[in-house]
Amino acid sequence: MKQAGLSVREDAVGNIYGRWDGSEQGLPVVATGSHIDAIPFSGKYDGVVGVLGAIEAINVLRRSGFQPKRPLEVIMFTSEEPTRFGISCLGSRLLAGSETLVNTLKKAADAQNVSFFDAATSAGYNLGPDDLSNLVLEEGSYSAFVELHIEQGPLLEEEGLSIGIVTAIAAPASIKVEFEGNGGHAGAVLMPKRNDAGLAAAELALAVERHVLESGSIDTVGTVGILELHPGAINSIPSKSHIEIDIRDIDEKRRNGVIEKVHQSAINIAKNRGVTLSEFNIINQDPPASSDKAVIDAMEFATKQLNLSHKFMISRAYHDSLFMARKSPMGMIFIPCYKGYSHKPEEYASTEDISNGVKVLALTLAKLSLE
């Protein structure tokens, strides 16, 4: 950011901002950016394209002699992935304002039982709960936010298109479920006498798939990404099981209906199998976000100016843009990625596709900064 001539600051939780002042003082900011953290065993393009690409978009505009009317800002959001504390989009959520999140972080600890605030201290951040509440962006401080990102799906590549203009971001929900049974020896306890917490979890995982498929929409998706059994021995009947469920849809009501059906299934499974449903906790249940028409128009204008093929599409993955939309008009630019691969080492976007995305972003920022 400094090499691009931006004035750089960092907030209390680690979001980093690089600003290029506009020619007129006091106008709301046009911002762009993404994240650089990643989940284990993932690729190197998710998020990173939107940070380095944003900086390069600024370089493009500077090289062209452009002078923004509104300030332009690059934001590198902290902790977009939920890897350590199970909370996604930490930096952008706090900017959007969430007292629920602040209260959750007061009790949050990682797998080694290190608290969020102890982790922050060890990383050099002297954080307290009041600091988190003070991060909320002022209403009207941003006139637009645009995020460049790999699609994380196969549609653009399959259809031979260069750019995706995102019209909406799906609504995510995360659920933690635990069952408790009696356990016992794998040979000595006969099948009719078992209260198997592991099979309860397996049955609920299949119920998630069933309820999602029954929603009537291809936009409803559900995933059981974590399933843990205790004590975890081949010759021991599981006495405890822990599963984590991700359910998403661009329709909040439809998604919430699936969640309710999954909850009812968990209750019925526990009753039928003689186990205890000890936890059914909805960790987050965020609403969807729609892109702003003026931002969509600016992205479409830029794409046409560059003579690049494009399509309008929704994002089924969620991003920092989902939360920035609560404070600013929002839009997203997608570029193709190899076979739609993401969150795995094979994730890849070509230099040509990244270059196209940066050009569209640069022109979009320029147009929005002059309005």
Domain CATH for 241: 3.30.70.360
> Which two structure tokens, joined as six digits, stand for 217?
């929409």
- Out of 268, 285, 302, a domain closes at 285
Alpha-carbon gap, residue 114 to 84, rounded angstroms: 10
Asked if omega into 231 is within 30° of 0 (cis), the reply is yes
Q: Find the CATH number of the domain harbouring 127.
A: 3.40.630.10
Residue pLDDT, tens place only, 94-145: 999 988 888 889 889 998 999 999 999 999 998 888 888 889 999 999 999 9
Q: Are residues 11 and 105 in the same domain?
A: yes
Number of domains in the chain: 2
Q: Are residues 6 and 99 in the same domain?
A: yes
Q: Are residues 166 and 308 in the same domain?
A: yes
Alpha-carbon gap, residue 101 to 117, rounded angstroms: 13
Q: Are residues 238 and 330 in the same domain?
A: no
The whole-number pLDDT of residue 137 equals 95
> Which two structure tokens, joined as six digits, stand for 9?
């600051």
Q: Are residues 358 and 229 in the same domain?
A: no
Residue pLDDT, tens place only, 261-285: 999 999 999 999 999 999 999 988 9
Q: Are residues 166 and 313 in the same domain?
A: yes
Q: Are residues 297 and 157 in the same domain?
A: yes
Alpha-carbon gap, residue 325 to 302, rounded angstroms: 21
Domain that holds residue 344: 2-170+289-370
- Out of 266, 285, 304, a domain closes at 285
Q: Are residues 190 and 211 in the same domain?
A: yes
Q: Are residues 50 and 81 in the same domain?
A: yes
pTM: 0.88
- Out of 285, 303, 321, a domain closes at 285
Read off the amino acid at residue 99. Answer: E
Q: Are residues 259 and 329 in the same domain?
A: no
Asked if omega into 154 is within 30° of 0 (cis), the reply is no
Q: Are residues 137 and 214 in the same domain?
A: no
Give, for all 371 residues of the chain, the pLDDT tens digit.
999 999 999 999 999 999 999 999 999 999 999 999 999 999 999 999 999 999 999 999 999 999 999 999 999 999 999 888 888 899 999 999 988 888 889 889 998 999 999 999 999 998 888 888 889 999 999 999 999 999 999 999 999 999 999 999 998 899 999 999 999 999 999 999 999 999 999 999 999 999 999 999 999 999 999 999 999 999 999 999 999 999 999 999 999 999 999 999 999 999 999 999 999 999 889 999 999 999 999 999 999 999 999 999 999 898 999 999 999 999 999 999 999 999 999 999 999 999 999 999 999 999 999 99
Asked if 176 and 281 touch (Cβ cutoff 8 Å), the reply is: yes
Q: Name the 3-class secondary structure at 30.
A: strand
Q: Are residues 190 and 88 in the same domain?
A: no
